[in-house]
Amino acid sequence: MESTTLENKKFKTKGFLLTTIIIASLFSAVIAYFVSSFAYSNEINNLKNQVLELSQELESISSNDFITPIGDTVVLSELFDQIRLSVVVVKANIRQVNIFGREYFTEQQGSGFILEYDSKFLIVTSNHIIDEAISTSITFVNGTTYDASVLYANSFVDLAFLNTDAPESEFIPLTIISSSSLKVGNPAILVGTPYGLEGSMSEGIISALNRTLIINDEYIENVIQTTAPMNPGNSGGPLLNYKGEVIGIVTARIADSEGIGFAIPSDIILENLENLN
């Protein structure tokens, strides 16, 4: 009788311990579930906040702030729409004298582009366009024309900076970068006025670097060679990369050639801008 009571007590004790263990395990599992759910909930909330912030940033970006990529290229029509606003037509009246000593005047036309330097706007063009001109004018993309004066000229690098009294609203400057990182094979774009055809765009690549060019017995070194088609009237226009940044200025081509044109590198433009100080 006594042994049966002891066995019952042992059984009850074991059952109590087992029940306690099961309850404790279930309680631990419940606690772990809520803790993990809370942690995951925080992570989800953080992700939602990040997505919301990213969406707001994307909404704040205008379509004009970037060029839509197509593979490894860009949409050239979008790029052109940005660049054309900063390219101008440069016209120069040149006084000539014929073999009979009679005076007459000719008009020389080229291209130019807008830059901002030291909080001031100026027109960059080729010196050979405005050299010896008795008057010069520039025409913006909207068709308005203004008289221009030569602010700076350097025949040794075929470069000139023009000034005009046009209102600031007319000036939409391009961005200019160093040409030191250019490599053969990089894409190149021209926008200018070949043969008076305003707003013309052509595309090619950088075909060679550090060429030496001879113009009117002047040696110009470190010239960029490009396959981008150019014609008379392109001189003074910008040479650009696929971001629309100026990497050079069109200066010359080999007559009757195909795909052999030259541009003064942007580093030379930047060096000459410092002479304005």
Active-site positions?
128, 158, 235
Q: Round to whole Å and give the CA distance between 10 and 133.
A: 118
Q: Round to whole Å and give the CA distance between 34 and 133.
A: 84
E strand intervals along 28-158: 69-70, 73-74, 87-97, 103-117, 120-125, 133-139, 145-154
Query: Dihedral through CA 263, CA 265, CA 268, CA 274, nearest 10?
Result: 110
For residue 157, give the 3-state DSSP assignment.
Answer: helix
- 265: tokens are 């590198």
- 30: tokens are 């419940």
Cross-strand partners of 107: 93
For residue 8, give the 3-state DSSP assignment.
Answer: helix
Query: Look-up: residue for tokens 């081509």?
Result: 253
